[in-house]
Amino acid sequence: MMRLAHQLVRSRFTLTAAVIALAAGMGAQLLAAGERDGAPDRAPRLAQAAPAATPQSGEASPFDAKQKAAIEAIIKGYLLEHPEVMLEVQTALEEKMEKLQTEKMKVALSANASEIFRDPNAPIAGNPSGDIPVVEFFDYNCGYCKRAFSDIAKLVDDDKKIKLILRELPILSKGSEEASRVALAARKQNKYWDIHKALISHKGESNEQTALRAAEKLGLDMEKLKKDMVSNEVTAEIDQVRELARKMGIQGTPHFLVGDRVIAGAPGDLLAQIEGHVAELRKDGGCPVC
């Protein structure tokens, strides 16, 4: 979520620059048209003016100081009179970016469907033969993941046809990977869901110490657990999920896939969104790529 927030800030800076550049081009054409007509400040032409080409870096500006001042005045005046333009362009940009991201995700889902939905090494909760897969990429030190867990637990308890696929994506700290290693090692003792619930519900930082303490309380064979948590198999699972997330363009946790539908982050109505997607998928006959 933090990474996504930084990307949104950068996109808004880009938007502002784009609007200014567009307005500058429009102002330049207006200025040129006004000078031809003997009226350099004829603002009504602005709405009809097409954007002019922007000079490339290093090229001399085609406008002198007086012309630049006139263009800047036109831009400032128009945007002050019509600030809603910024919101309209922002909305259009966000809609376009969301559409592009959705299209990219569909391609990535199709290309990696087997690894996402049918990986025999992926931990599963709920019904292993369920009709609708719900995939969660998470980190045990992610506050949003912790907040989302009550909804995920309720989903699994209430809908006995859900196949919950849990993908360990420890990206926040060294302790996150340590906790993931303990959880994946616990899977060898058929205790993955139990340790997962304990770690994702833990108040405070999760690391090797807190994870091992939780495992001991659950009665796991600690000698076997400590051996398994540093095994090549556990390392390979963590590396595989990180690479899968990279291919999918997933840059933060939590990240949910409900069949071929995407929910990034942990919205307040997460459970309702998941249940809505599940109902739609069942109505349509299931997930076409799962």
Q: Which amino acid is at 63?
A: F
**CB neighbour list of residue 140: distance below 8 Å, 6 or more residues apart:** 170, 175, 176, 179, 180, 183, 199, 200, 202, 206, 211
pLDDT at 78: 87
- Decide: helix, strand or coil at residue 162: strand
Contact 249, 104 (CB under 8 A): yes
> What is the pLDDT at residue 118?
95
- The predicted pLDDT at position 91 comes to 86
Residue 130: pLDDT over 70: yes
Mean pLDDT, rounded, for 80-86: 88
pTM of the entire predicted model: 0.70
The confidence band for 194, taking pLDDT boundaries of 50, 70 and 90, is: very high
CA distance 250 to 109: 12
Beta bridge partners of 167: 137
pLDDT for the residue 9: 40
DSSP H/E element including 104 = helix 84-111
pLDDT confidence of residue 4? 44
Q: What is the mean pLDDT of residues 154-171?
A: 98
Task: Tell me what the pLDDT averaged over the chain comes to.
Answer: 84
- Distance from chain centroid for Cα 118: 22
> Using one digit for the tens of pLDDT, what is the confidence trace for 200-216?
999 999 999 999 999 99
Q: What percent of the chain has pLDDT over 90?
A: 61
User: Any residues with CB less than 8 A from the CB of 242 and at least 6 apart, and which?
Assistant: 169, 171
Q: Tell me: the pLDDT tens digits for 5-44?
A: 444 444 444 455 555 555 555 555 555 555 555 444 443 3
**Contact in structure between 274 and 158 (CB atoms under 8 Å):** no
Average pLDDT over residues 122-150: 97
Q: Is 176 helix (H, G, I), strand (E, B) or coil?
A: helix
pLDDT of residue 16: 52
Residue 243 CB neighbour total at 10 angstroms: 12
Domain 113-283 fold is Glutaredoxin (3.40.30)
Q: Which amino acid is at 52?
A: A
Q: Please give the DSSP secondary-structure letter assigned to residue 167.
A: E
How confident is the model over 114-126, as pLDDT tens digits?
A: 999 999 999 999 9
What is the percent of the chain where pLDDT is above 70?
Answer: 79
